[in-house]
Structure 1
Amino acid sequence: MSKKRTGQRHKNKIYFEDSELDFYLQAFPLGYQTYGGATVGEVFYAASHINEKDPDSWVEEWSNLAARVEKGAARSLERGHAASARGAYLRAFTYYRTATPLLHASDPRFRATWEMMRSCFRRAAGLFDQPIEPVEIPFEGNTLPAYFLQAPGDGEKKPTMIMVGGGETYAEDLYFWGGAAAVDRGYNALLVDMPGQGATPFEGMHHRFDVEVPMGAVVDYLLGRSEVDPERVAAYGVSLGGYLVLRSAAFEKRIGACAVSTPIVDWHQALIDAMPPLLRSAPRFLFGALTKLGRLFSPTQQVAFEKFFEWQVGARDIPDALEKFRPWKVDVGEISCPVLCMVGTGEAATFKKQTYACYAALGSPKSLRVFTEEEGADAHSQATNLRLAHQAVFDFFDEVLARPETASKRRLAGGA
């Protein structure tokens, strides 16, 4: 078992002693393998050459692997082997993506690596039998980056899932977190970065509490597409996306169902609860010194926090970010659509606490799914068993988004 730290996201160590590095290994390359985004041999070859006490070692090994796989993809494409090229470009995307968590936003390699990972994903996207379509959704004089995945069929309007990620995801990641599973089940999918997510901070966009405003633009765009059944639009949010989707559903009534893992109803309180007691009452001017001297966060966490709180949120430091987060709350009593609440037993106590509070407060049709260690799915957002998570999500959507003639047959499970 790995050492328990502030911000726990999983219980079981697979390879690295550093809990965060081990989570990244499980969530990204090993998780993305589920839908063709990695191979075990490539992943563990790179991992075996990493010195986890040297952040540059992590970046270099994943970047080197990505470059090798990308070259192989290009060779296959030149020779007309589209399926091989598609698979290799997906893997190259994953490996470049896995390098990014340990790159500071100010490091020139960060943007360069993001550009390479996006390029690989888009090359793969164009090689599917039904190409994945990059789209830009107009919003307040800027655009939200997204991808539209069209369900197979004969032109009939289909149910559609809006997929929203968390504080460390990019729109491209969401193919693995839900997009591929949606298309497999006959759903269209829109994979979108809200302000502050993905690469939007490069364009000056930051996280905002009133995410229902950009979500309104997303739904407007979606309902303008002929492939979309406006009566069967669902939203699925993972990690911080749990807050973003829940908050949106409280205002945006065109969302017909939502699934959230985890259901965050008060983001400010979740962060306070997760902090070491020493920091909760610390004066602002001592916050940074206490964090460093007390070694309260691992070096890996420090990079992630700097990137999230300062680059993505637009705050000066963590205390400033906490002030910005005060209005980040959801009135779940305003939600009228069916909601699936999901949580893993290996997650931090604050996430479990908010999940049960959200489920208890919901007045709309609801279901609760608790994922366990025995299922291999207890990690944050079910990162270690995406197929099981998708089974729960899409079985739920299938039932609650059923056509009117089958509405009388809808049945929701009341508990885990």
Structure 2
Amino acid sequence: MPDAAIETALAHWAPRLIQNGVDYNDMTVTIARTETWADWLPQWNRTADEQAEFAREADATGHHLTAGQAWRRASVNRHFGKFVWMVDLDLAAEATRRSVEETRTALARLDPSAQRLEVPLPEGLAYANLRRPPGIDLPPYVVLIPGLDSTKEEFFYFEQSFLDRGMATVALDGPGQGETGLVLPIRHDYEVAVRALLDLLGSRADLDHERIGAVGVSLGGYYAPRVAAHEPRIVAVAGISGPFCFGDMWDDLPPMTRQTFVVKSGARDDEEGRRLALTLDLAGQCQRISVPALYVTGRLDRLIPWQQTQRQAEESPKGTFVCFPEGNHGVSNLPSRARPMIADWMGDQLSAGEPPLPR
């Protein structure tokens, strides 16, 4: 029988794993042999290693598409093994680095357009993955912003929703996230990282810098509106299950989520973590958003109450609120409905439209 922490993780995030590319069979096999939270990452590493070995065998026989798909599975398995897992920070950091490399290896085989970006910030480097839609010379682009301990490595299929509609994607690991978070802690003014990213991209002639969107998920649903409030180059923004004030729900968050925020923010203890969480507050910020803003959540969200996301919409001058009655956190249990809707909305705002069907 799995312990309480495993049951909590599955109750909150099992649909999210599947939505973002974890094979259902990988998940069931891994869970079946995991009895304690301490063993969660080691067992997911084992599953990831099995996929990586399959990928190497496929590469050796010249089957690079098969290899790329297996490398992607290895990466996302390893990522979700260390997701909100603060038991052994050195082991988690190593899993982060390996997941990054496995995604890079996968993208080299699955998407020739993919490029790794290094974004200079005053305190160090942030990292992002740029992907471009085929056959479009000057596409608009969307900055994809992860949440607490989520990363660009889990966005392969999310990116595809936008790529299929003619938009390029730039998935960013900002402060406190993924490989960037190994060095830079969470900061409430996330727009600093996006501003640096847009400055870096600004000289490129293969992107349309007049049509830039931002989309954030979970805590990224706080970051994205904050970016839109301060970065004039953003012309449309979408936030998914984002908090209005992250600190307001501190006592109701799962212990593993609070512990993750403490670690990723550089706080010394739970009380300082609470104080820093209270700085992630959109009071006075949403009113500054002058562009179209879409806010999406699920009424059954057990992490971020839907009313928090609704408040974002109510305080944004051009805010639209969509709440799926049966949706969970991130609406990850309804990806076939939520993701196309969000991508269609963003495509409409950026006038991207869907690329023509092949004849």
CA contact (8 A) 1:101 1:304 kept: no
Please name the residue that 2:289 is paired with: 335
Match among 357, 364, 368 for residue 311 of structure 2: 357
State the secondary structure of the residue aligned to 1:256: strand
Kept in 1: contact 2:242–2:304 (CA 8 A): no
Runs of 4+ with >6 A deviation = none
Larger Rg: 1
What's the TM-score once normalised by structure 1's chain length?
0.78
2:128 and 2:170 in contact (8 A); partners too = yes
The letter of the residue matching 2:126 is L
Are the equivalent residues in 2 in contact too, given 1:246–1:265 (CA < 8 A)? no
Q: Per-residue displacement from partner, 1:182-218 (whole Å, max 9, x unpaired)?
A: 1122110000011111232322x11112222222112
Q: Which residue number corresponds to residue 316 of structure 1?
A: 268
Correspondent of 1:31 among 15, 19, 25: 19
**Counterpart mapping for 1:334-413 below 5 A:** 334-348=288-302, 351-364=305-318, 366-373=319-326, 378-402=327-351
Unaligned runs of 5+ residues in structure 2 are 353-359
Secondary structure of residue in 2 paired with 1:18: helix
Match of 2:11 in 1: 22
Q: What is the letter of the counterpart of residue 31 of structure 1?
A: Q
Matched, 1:302 2:262: no
Alpha-carbon offset, residue 17 of structure 1: 7.5
Q: Deviations over 1:315-343 (max 9, x none)?
A: 11121122223333222111001001101
| 1:173 Cα deviation after fit | 1.6
2:336 and 2:197 map into 1 onto residues whose CA distance is: 26
- 3-state SS of 2:52 partner: helix
| Identical positions, percent | 22
Number of the residue aligned with 2:174: 194
Residue 242 (structure 1) shift: 0.8
Question: How far is the alpha carbon of 1:401 from its aligned partner?
Answer: 1.9
Please give the root-mean-square deviation of Cα atoms over the aligned residues, in Å: 2.2
| d(CA) in 2 for partners of 1:99, 1:349 | 19
The one-letter code sitting in structure 2 at the alignment partner of 1:72 is: F
Counterparts of 2:117 and 2:320, CA distance in 1:
33
SS at match of 2:187: coil
Judging changes above 3 Å, is the alpha-carbon distance between structure 1 residues 107 and 394 closer, same or farther for their aligned structure 2 residues?
A: closer
The amino acid that maps onto 1:302 is P
Give structure 1 stretches of 5+ with no counterpart: 6-15, 277-296, 404-416
Instruction: Determine if contact 1:164/1:244 at 8 Å carries over to the other structure.
Output: yes
2:24 counterpart of 1:40:
yes
Q: Does the 8 Å CA contact 1:103/1:109 hold for their aligned counterparts?
A: no
Alignment of 1:10-409 (within 5 A): 18-28=7-17, 30-32=18-20, 37-51=21-35, 54-101=36-83, 103-104=85-86, 106-154=88-136, 156-176=137-157, 178-203=158-183, 205-271=184-250, 275=251, 301-309=254-262, 311-330=263-282, 331-348=285-302, 351-364=305-318, 366-373=319-326, 378-402=327-351
Residues 17-66 of structure 1 show CA distances to partners (whole Å, capped at 9, x for unaligned) of: 713233333212x122xxxx333333222222222xx1233233322111
Contact 1:342 1:370 in 2 (8 A): yes
Match of 2:357 in 1: none
* Counterpart contact for 1:55–1:102, Cα < 8 Å: no
